[in-house]
Amino acid sequence: MDLRPDALDGPRADALFCHCRAGFEPELAAELTARAALLGHAGYARTERDSGFVQFISDTAPALARALPFAELVFARQKLLRLAELSALDPSDRIAPILAALEGAAVRRDGQPPFGELQVEHPDSDASRPLSGLARSFGNALRPALRKAGWLSARDVPHRPRLHVVFLDGKHALLARSHPGDSAPWPGGIPRLRMHHEAPSRSALKLEEALAVLMDADERRELLRDGLTGADLGAAPGGWTWVMLRKGLHMTAIDNGPLRGHLFDTGRLEHLRADGFRWHPPQPLDWMVCDMVEQPRRVAERMATWFHEGWCRQAIFNLKLPMKKRWDETRLCLDLFEAQAGRPLHIRARQLYHDREEITVFARPR
């Protein structure tokens, strides 16, 4: 897949736009600032508390977008490259200014429409949620206009860049683009999941989302299949155990509390009443999952021990964050986990839509 964004970078591409959980804008701003500095890019983060997004303004935004993969970001749900800002849209005709802005952004065309998909979205915040109806209706109106003007493919083309229109209010929108190989496929970066009636708890949605967001399709086929083994530390009432059982695994649930009775119907579940911070398997497992409520550094250290001792091949676990300096604590815990694991690992961490004051981490051997 061609990840080169240069064919879409124009002189107006001067910022990264990232969606995030409302209330975590300072954490995302701190992360973008720190990562940009490490990569040698100057710039500054601009946001407002509870807005649900951060813009990182930089004269080298296109180069920064190439150097900073979306998969490495923790607090961003989506990463876009801003092409234009439209701050005085006339509700009677929002389409013409967008077509003009595309021309002004110097987006090059190679004989084919440069965009394979359109996403019209809004930040996930209390103030912006009333814009959902506008986003849906405007997308239906804008697509044919873009296709007629030669900007958008006649049908969705997954490997071509996406065009994004992000409404901040009815008269204020941003024009941005993303590449399918370096962004989330869902509008706003939010996968739409439904609570299954058999799920023991809503925490099951966190693990379902983690499997969709932190793993690619090949990893899911390889690592989530019948016959593999796993353990769920702090399992009760069994939400994460239930997800892994549905993937075909044989699971050991570790918790002094009770599990939902129907989990045992598969015949592939053993429940041990034990302390998740003390128990370890008698032989190596394919998986370990953990959503225990505990200090994040203590969890990170225990997860590292599982890898250091070879008790599991891959793991997904949550780190509950403090109320202050959450980016600093995130960076400390991830560095601690990687250093103490004692082996090379692929580590991906993200604050998921179904997470709250926490992040979810996926780790597997390199």
pLDDT for res 11: 42
pLDDT tens profile 238-249: 999 999 999 999
Asked if 183 and 262 sit in the same domain, the reply is: no
Find out whether 182 is annotated in a ligand binding site.
no
Asked if 267 and 135 sit in the same domain, the reply is: no
Asked if 267 and 131 sit in the same domain, the reply is: no
pLDDT for res 112: 85
Confidence of residue 12 (pLDDT cuts 50, 70, 90): low
pLDDT for res 296: 98
Asked, for residue 61, whether it belongs to a domain, the answer is yes
Count of the separate structural domains present in the chain: 2
Q: Answer whether residue 317 shows pLDDT above 90.
A: yes
In sequence order, what are the beta bridge partners of 78? 19
Average pLDDT for residues 25-39, to the nearest whole number?
Answer: 98
In sequence order, what are the beta bridge partners of 205? none
Q: Given 167, 189, 211, which residue is the final one in a domain? A: 189
Asked if 167 and 289 sit in the same domain, the reply is: no
Least confident of 53-67, 95-109, 134-148, 321-335: 95-109
Q: Answer whether residue 7 shows pLDDT above 90.
A: no
Find out whether 255 is annotated in a ligand binding site.
yes
- Report how far residue 82's alpha carbon sits from residue 225's, in angstroms, rounded to the nearest whole number: 40
pLDDT for res 106: 64
Q: What is the b/e burial string over 122-157, where b = at least 16 CB atoms within 10 angstroms of the residue's CB?
A: bbbbeebeebeebbeebeeebbeebbeeebbbeeeb
Asked, for residue 195, whether it belongs to a domain, the answer is no
Average pLDDT for residues 229-257, to the nearest whole number?
Answer: 97
Q: Cα 297 vs. chain centroid, distance in angstroms? A: 22
pLDDT tens profile 180-210: 999 999 999 999 999 999 999 999 999 999 9
Asked, for residue 46, whether it belongs to a domain, the answer is yes
Asked, for residue 58, whether it belongs to a domain, the answer is yes
- Residue (of 153, 107, 122) closest to 17 by Cα position: 122
CA distances from 73 to 27, 162, 255, 330 (A): 11, 20, 32, 11
Confidence of residue 156 (pLDDT cuts 50, 70, 90): confident
Asked, for residue 253, whether it belongs to a domain, the answer is yes
Two tokens, residue 296: 């994040």
Asked if 35 and 173 sit in the same domain, the reply is: yes
Asked if 12 and 148 sit in the same domain, the reply is: yes
- Residue (of 348, 260, 272) closest to 69 by Cα position: 348
- Residue (of 128, 56, 26) closest to 351 by Cα position: 26
Q: Is 50 left (phi over 0), alpha (psi -120 to 50) or beta?
A: left
- Residue (of 248, 222, 185) closest to 346 by Cα position: 222
Q: Answer whether residue 72 shows pLDDT above 90.
A: yes
The total of other beta-carbon atoms located within 10 Å of residue 50's CB is 15
Q: Answer whether residue 1 shows pLDDT above 50.
A: no
- Residue (of 242, 131, 174, 140) closest to 14 by Cα position: 174
CATH code, domain with 321: 3.40.50.150
Residue 96: domain span: 6-189
Average pLDDT for residues 62-74, to the nearest whole number?
Answer: 96
Asked, for residue 134, whether it belongs to a domain, the answer is yes
Residue with tokens 């996968």: 191
Q: Given 189, 221, 240, which residue is the final one in a domain? A: 189
Average pLDDT for residues 81-101, to the nearest whole number?
Answer: 95
Asked if 174 and 208 sit in the same domain, the reply is: no
pLDDT for res 158: 84
Find out whether 237 is annotated in a ligand binding site.
yes
Asked if 19 and 147 sit in the same domain, the reply is: yes
Confidence of residue 308 (pLDDT cuts 50, 70, 90): very high
Find out whether 14 is annotated in a ligand binding site.
no
- Report how far residue 77's alpha carbon sits from residue 188's, in angstroms, rounded to the nearest whole number: 7
Q: Given 166, 189, 212, which residue is the final one in a domain? A: 189
Q: Answer whether residue 6 shows pLDDT above 50.
A: no
Q: Answer whether residue 150 shows pLDDT above 90.
A: yes
Confidence of residue 176 (pLDDT cuts 50, 70, 90): very high
Percent of the chain exceeding pLDDT 70 equals 95
Average pLDDT for residues 160-186, to the nearest whole number?
Answer: 96
The continuous run of DSSP H or E covering 246 comes out as: helix 239-246
pLDDT for res 108: 65
pLDDT for res 111: 76
- Residue (of 235, 247, 307) closest to 272 by Cα position: 235
- Report how far residue 320's alpha carbon sits from residue 295's, in angstroms, rounded to the nearest whole number: 7
CATH code, domain with 165: 3.30.2130.30
Two tokens, residue 48: 């407002």
pLDDT for res 120: 98
- Report how far residue 283's alpha carbon sits from residue 296's, in angstroms, rounded to the nearest whole number: 26
- Report how far residue 129's alpha carbon sits from residue 125's, in angstroms, rounded to the nearest whole number: 6
Asked, for residue 95, whether it belongs to a domain, the answer is yes
The total of other beta-carbon atoms located within 10 Å of residue 278's CB is 8
pLDDT for res 199: 92
Asked if 217 and 183 sit in the same domain, the reply is: no
The conformation of residue 161, written as its DSSP 8-state character, comes to P
Find out whether 248 is annotated in a ligand binding site.
no
Average pLDDT for residues 311-340, to the nearest whole number?
Answer: 97
Asked if 230 and 172 sit in the same domain, the reply is: no
Q: Answer whether residue 4 shows pLDDT above 60.
A: no
Q: Answer whether residue 312 shows pLDDT above 70.
A: yes
Asked if 137 and 215 sit in the same domain, the reply is: no
Asked if 105 and 65 sit in the same domain, the reply is: yes
Hey, what's the torsion of the CAs at 324, 363, 268, 273, to 10 degrees?
A: -40
Asked, for residue 197, whether it belongs to a domain, the answer is no
Q: Would you please indicate which residues are annotated as catalytic (active-site) residues?
A: 320
Looking at every residue in the chain, the average pLDDT score rounds to 94
pLDDT for res 2: 31
pLDDT tens profile 42-52: 999 999 999 99
Find out whether 275 is annotated in a ligand binding site.
yes
